[in-house]
Amino acid sequence: MESNTRNLTLKWIAVELLIMVLIGLVFGFLGPFGTYSMPVGLRLAYWVGFIIIGYAIFRPVSISAGWLRETIAIPAWASELLATAVAAFPLTFLIGFAISGMRFDPQFFGNRFLLLYLQCAAIGFGIFLFMRMLFGPDGTDQGQHARINEEIDEVELVPDNAPPVQTQLHNRLPPHFSGPIIALGVEDHYVRIHTAERSEMLLMRLSDAIREMEPLEGMQVHRSWWVARDAILTSKREGRNLRLSLSSGLEVPVSRAYVTKLKQTGWI
């Protein structure tokens, strides 16, 4: 399972790197921010190289911003703006060091540094918006979740001795993948489907996976998690954080935005 996850993660990094190279080539051909006067080959190498370096800096900072967003419940755009502001600083320093002839130039730290910093931040945030448009906002389709939650009361409870509910999502899974689905979790741009015995990963958005879980009764409890009602055993507090313990032993975090809904529906 760990090997499969690692392979999928490496695959997605390769996809992102390819997109970064294409973005760098576009900037290289356009030559913005005064770079058009550079020779074409040098201009392409300049933009592709620094877009990839920027990706290597922005990617881990963006992941950390996502953890911060989960902890203090701030909007996605605010966390990404914070990540951009932080990541643009070392990237600006590296670019300034390069264009200064690979040497430290004290005179660079002034208006030139501020202008270059704003350019790096604008490009970084623009690429973030482009990636969100291309791949979706990590599956946070709130309107769809609201409609699903409104229909929960209309779903008939399945007796304990009834066979596992087969959902549309089962059709995407391997034939040997059986058993009731108890949870869905986001990993990068993949959704991991959990049963009591095993899990499988699919390249899709969480909102699409949730849409294919009908008629199984469940609810999204976190921007990256959906759980089946019958799988919840208990809930527990860890400081200010709430977690759900599922029948498989899996523990799922609950965002504060969903705590009230879980209490109102009597799930916890």
Domain map (residue ranges) of the chain: 2-135, 142-156+163-264
| Confidence at residue 156, expressed as pLDDT on a 0 to 100 scale | 40
Place of tokens 């770079």: 35
Count the Cβ atoms, other than its own, within 10 Å of residue 159.
Answer: 6
Mean pLDDT of 174-196: 85
- Please choose, from the candidates 245, 257, 244, 263, the residue with its C-alpha nearest in 3D space to the C-alpha of residue 145: 257
Task: Indicate the pTM of the whole model.
Answer: 0.53
Helices (H), strands (E): how many in the chain?
7, 8
DSSP classification of residue 171? G
Tally of CA atoms within 13 A in the half-sphere of 187 that contains its CB: 22
CB-based contact 128:121 (threshold 8 Å): no
Residue 145 has pLDDT above 80, yes or no: no
| Confidence at residue 150, expressed as pLDDT on a 0 to 100 scale | 42
Mean pLDDT of 8-19: 80
CATH 2.40.50.1020 fits 142-156+163-264, yes or no: yes
Residue-wise pLDDT for 24-45, tens only, equals 999 999 988 888 888 999 999 9
- How long is the chain? 268
- Please choose, from the candidates 70, 105, 47, the residue with its C-alpha nearest in 3D space to the C-alpha of residue 243: 70
Mean pLDDT of 125-134: 83
Give the 3-state secondary structure percentages of the chain, helix then strand then coil, rounded to 5: 55, 15, 30
Strands (E), 118-224: 183-187, 190-194, 199-203, 218-222
Question: How do 199-203 and 183-187 pair as beta strands?
Answer: unpaired
Residue-wise pLDDT for 70-91, tens only, equals 666 667 677 788 888 999 989 9
DSSP classification of residue 140? -
Residue 153 has pLDDT above 80, yes or no: no
